[in-house]
């Protein structure tokens, strides 16, 4: 039977450090290689279905809505869509009645009447600027996804609960 010594030897510290370095390098290498490479696309999901694809290279503001949301925008929304000298602006009504203004670039309205849009509590405004994706306004009780910071990371979802809506930058398949 082999005798195992429990005394610390000078080489033990180097062996443990080498093992930690090897494990860390392997972990970092695998995580970098698993993200994939290729052209990026921003997918908007409702539940598990992609309802719209956007390019992260094009600076644009997308407003996801149903026909009912646009007809009754003031009832469904905690923000206003304002045309100011032909420059569209989105003004969010905060809890203190103060407005946060966002200049909307290149607005595109996405009607989700036929794609489970009934699950949305109101319009959701997604902004892509400089490769970063951000939800700047939404209709929900706690505004979970508009509180999240803008991201340019792959596979990092901005999830809007309880709207069943999320946007994710992914590698185009």
CATH number at residue 120: 2.60.320.10
Residue 13 belongs to some domain of the structure: no
> Domain range holding 65?
40-171
Higher-pLDDT residue of 101, 120: 120
With 0-12 / 13-18 / 19 or more C-beta atoms within 10 angstroms meaning exposed / middle / buried, residue 7 is exposed
82: part of which helix (H) or strand (E)?
strand 79-84
Angle formed at CA 33 by CA 30 and CA 39, multiple of 5 degrees: 160
Kindly give the pairing relationship between strand 87-93 and strand 79-84: antiparallel
Domain count, the chain: 1
pLDDT tens for 21-72 read 889 888 877 766 555 678 899 999 988 889 999 999 999 888 888 877 766 6
Q: What is the pTM of this model?
A: 0.67
Is the residue at 21 inside a domain? no
Rounded CA separation 77/137 (Å): 9
Whether the CB-CB separation of 169 and 42 falls below 8 Å is answered with: yes
121 within domain boundaries: yes
Residue 30 inside a domain? The answer is no
Assigned domain for 88 exists:
yes
- Quote the DSSP letter at residue 35: T
CA dihedral of 113, 114, 117, 123, whole degrees rounded to 10: -40
């Amino acid at each position: 039977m082999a005798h195992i010594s429990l005394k610390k030897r000078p080489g033990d510290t180097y062996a443990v450090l080498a093992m930690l370095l090897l494990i860390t390098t392997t972990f970092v290498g695998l995580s970098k290689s698993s993200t994939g490479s290729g052209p990026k696309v921003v997918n908007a999901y409702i539940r598990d279905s992609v309802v719209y694809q956007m390019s992260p290279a094009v600076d644009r503001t997308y407003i996801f809505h149903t026909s009912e949301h646009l007809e009754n925008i003031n009832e469904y929304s905690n923000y206003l869509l304002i045309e100011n000298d032909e420059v569209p602006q989105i003004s969010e009504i905060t809890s203190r009645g103060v407005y946060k203004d966002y200049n909307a670039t290149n607005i595109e309205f996405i009607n989700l009447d036929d794609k489970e849009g009934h699950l949305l509590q109101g319009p959701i405004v997604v902004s892509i600027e400089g490769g970063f994706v951000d939800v700047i306004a939404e209709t929900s009780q706690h505004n979970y996804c508009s509180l999240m910071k803008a991201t340019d990371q792959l596979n990092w979802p901005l999830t809007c609960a309880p709207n069943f809506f999320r946007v994710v930058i992914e590698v185009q398949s």
